[in-house]
């Protein structure tokens, strides 16, 4: 037993080694130093290739064909061990292939398979770099696959019935070190902090509004599903300011995802009005554009173009936002489109321009029962914010990317003087894309509208039997919310 640390040993030799290592024996023996662990040196394929080429250059020019002496010279000059150079020489064919097909080489001993069409992939990578670095536009996996097919077609290959697979896209991103990056957008207040205000809103909606007499709907109460509407604004940039895009590894996450400074900000505002009854979407979608003169300086040709799309209403405002004057025009048009239903309910955001005395008196006079959602809670209780309003924006960006992928339209992101689009052309294209999105929504996506009203607690039974269907946040468990 060691008399210092009181540790027992079965043999005397074990005790002796312990005393020698710790100095507990009292005989003045120094402790044995711990073994130093050296960090492992890692080289990319391209670095290995450079060292191999250095050895071959020294063999030809300085050593007269003596490979062993050449390795010693390279070791003395660079510090790379001789046995490493000898091992790399045995795998030189693999190293040279991976150094050629991978943009920066790699640290793995076995790289990814070489591409079947290296010239086409190199051209695609150049197009990717130009789009991300100089045009600052969003790049998706779909864009990579679509443009790769277009490049192969330009090179003379038959691509009829062929489309690049997701597996190829993943291997291409690994070969060229491309990764997917996303911006983060966390709410200032958590759901737990906002929960009392949300519960008070649902209590007011069901008890003060829907339980009034006479009940026009046995299930929902005073307002049936065909008479419940929700309106909200969705800001939109001309070029997609998406939170996720393909980018080079190591590039800063705060990089711009859009092009010019006037396009990466609010280009227009989408004013979306939805009805809780899916087949009844009778209120046209609206777009609010920048214009200091209220549309007075718009050309006749542009106005005639807007007349071709009656399902999209165009308005003008100096900041492209719904101020009080915009809301007055909106309420007038909304009442005109729903006048045959009589009294209706309209769920609005808690925006300042939507709760002024003038706006409130106007809605009361026109038989519009307005309900204001709690502040900072539209992501939980607004049906438009529940993946419906943003759906129109994303579909417009989808149609935009389809147009940008055509060769004749690749100069669109450039300034107007260098072949890009003017502001008037951008507005007209946006109206056309939004009209396409609205028609697609009417045809295929109306069922999501009713689901949004149910998830946010606007369209639930008045007796409380459907409260378990309310989901204030995505992937919420059934019955997780109660009020």
What is the per-residue pLDDT for 23?
64
Domain membership flag for residue 107: no
Angle (CA) 142-147-152 rounded to 5° is 135
Residue 436 lies in a domain: yes
225 closest CA partner among 332, 387, 341? 341
Statement to judge: residues 126 and 65 lie in one domain: no
Residue 314 and residue 273 share a domain: yes
271, burial (CB in 10 Å: exposed 0-12, middle 13-18, buried 19+)? buried
Q: β-strands 228-236, 344-348: how paired?
A: parallel
Q: Enumerate the β-bridge partners of residue 317.
A: 290
pLDDT of residue 29: 44
Two structure tokens written together for 41: 């040196």
CATH of the domain at 240: 3.30.420.10
The vertex-240 CA angle with 238 and 246, nearest 5°, equals 150
- What span, in angstroms and rounded, lies between the C-alpha atoms of 135 and 158? 30
219 and 343 both lie in a single domain: yes
Residues 260 and 400 in one domain: yes
Is residue 185 included in any domain, yes or no? no
Q: Which two tokens stand for residue 465?
A: 């039997």
Within-domain flag for 190: no
Among 177, 179, 175, 36, which residue's Cα sits nearest to residue 113? 175
Residues 90 and 217 in one domain: no
| 419 and 356 housed in the same domain | yes
State the helix-helix crossing angle for 82-90 and 45-61, rounded to 10 degrees: 100
In this structure, is residue 322 part of a structural domain? yes
**307 within domain boundaries:** yes
Give helix then strand counts, H and E, for the chain: 16, 8
Phi and psi torsions of 360, nearest 5°: -65, -45
Instruction: Give pLDDT, residue 309.
Output: 92
Question: Tokens for 382?
Answer: 């607004």
Same-domain status, 91 and 168 = no
Same domain, 413 and 295: yes
Phi, psi for 344 (deg, rounded to 5): -130, 160
Residues 431 and 375 in one domain: yes
Cα separation, 25 vs 15, whole angstroms: 9
127 Cβ partners below 8 Å, 6+ apart? 147, 151
| Apex 160 CA angle, 154 and 164, nearest 5 | 75
Note whether 379 and 318 are same-domain residues: yes
Q: List the chain pLDDT tens, one digit each, 483 residues.
A: 676 677 777 777 777 777 766 766 654 444 545 555 556 677 888 888 888 888 888 888 887 778 888 888 888 888 888 898 989 988 888 888 777 655 444 444 445 667 888 899 999 998 898 888 777 777 888 889 988 999 999 999 988 889 899 999 999 998 888 888 876 555 567 777 888 999 999 999 988 898 888 888 899 999 999 999 999 988 888 876 556 777 877 666 544 544 444 566 678 899 999 998 877 777 888 888 877 777 778 889 999 999 999 889 999 988 888 889 999 999 999 999 999 999 999 999 888 888 899 999 999 999 999 999 998 888 888 898 887 888 888 888 888 888 877 778 877 777 777 778 888 998 999 999 999 999 888 888 878 888 889 988 899 888 888 888 888 876 676 667 777
Range of the domain at 22: 1-31
DSSP-derived 3-state class of residue 416 = helix
From residue 445, alpha-carbon distances to 450, 451, 452 in Å are: 10, 11, 11
Total domains, the chain: 4
- The whole-number pLDDT of residue 359 equals 92
């Amino acid at each position: 037993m060691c008399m210092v640390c009181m540790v027992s040993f079965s043999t005397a030799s074990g005790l002796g080694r312990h005393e020698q290592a710790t100095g507990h024996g009292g005989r003045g023996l120094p402790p044995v130093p711990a073994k130093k662990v050296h960090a492992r040196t890692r080289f990319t394929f391209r670095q290995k290739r450079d060292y191999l080429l250095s050895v071959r250059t020294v063999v030809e020019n300085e050593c007269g064909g003596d490979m062993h002496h050449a390795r010693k010279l390279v070791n003395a000059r660079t510090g790379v061990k001789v046995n490493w150079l000898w091992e790399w020489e045995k795998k030189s064919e693999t190293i040279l292939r991976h150094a050629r097909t991978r943009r920066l080489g790699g640290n793995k001993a076995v790289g990814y398979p070489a591409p079947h069409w290296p010239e086409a992939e190199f051209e695609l990578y150049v197009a990717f770099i130009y789009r991300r670095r100089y045009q600052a536009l969003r790049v998706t996996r779909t864009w990579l696959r679509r443009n790769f097919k277009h490049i192969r077609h330009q090179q003379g290959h038959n691509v009829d019935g062929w489309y690049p697979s997701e597996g190829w896209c993943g291997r291409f991103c690994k070969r060229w070190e491309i990764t997917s990056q996303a911006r983060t957008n966390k709410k200032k207040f958590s759901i737990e902090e906002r929960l009392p205000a949300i519960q008070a809103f649902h209590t007011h909606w069901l008890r003060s509004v829907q339980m009034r007499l006479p009940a026009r709907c046995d299930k929902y109460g005073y307002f049936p599903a065909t008479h419940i509407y929700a309106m909200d604004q969705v800001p939109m940039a001309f070029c997609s300011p998406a939170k996720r895009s393909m980018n080079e590894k190591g590039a800063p996450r705060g990089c711009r995802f859009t092009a010019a400074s006037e396009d990466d900000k609010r280009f227009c505002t989408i004013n979306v009005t939805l009805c809780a009854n899916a087949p009844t979407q009778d209120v046209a979608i609206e777009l609010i554009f920048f214009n200091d003169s209220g549309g007075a300086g718009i050309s006749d040709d542009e106005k005639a173009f807007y007349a071709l799309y009656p399902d999209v209403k165009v308005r003008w405002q100096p900041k492209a936002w719904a101020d009080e004057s915009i809301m007055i025009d909106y309420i007038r048009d909304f009442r005109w489109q729903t006048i045959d239903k009589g009294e209706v309910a309209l769920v609005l955001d808690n925006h300042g321009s939507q709760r002024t005395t003038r706006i409130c008196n106007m809605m009361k006079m026109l038989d519009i029962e307005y309900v204001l959602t709690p502040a900072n809670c539209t992501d939980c209780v607004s049906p438009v914010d529940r993946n419906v309003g943003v759906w129109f924006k994303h579909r417009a960006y989808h149609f935009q990317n389809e147009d940008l992928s055509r060769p004749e339209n690749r100069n669109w992101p450039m300034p107007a003087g260098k072949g890009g689009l003017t502001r008037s052309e951008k507005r007209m294209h946006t109206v056309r894309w939004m009209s396409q999105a609205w028609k697609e929504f009417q045809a295929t996506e109306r069922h999501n509208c009713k689901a949004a009203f149910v998830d946010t607690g606007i369209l639930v039974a008045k007796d409380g039997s459907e409260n378990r269907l309310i989901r204030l946040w995505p992937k919420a468990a059934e019955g997780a919310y109660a009020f």
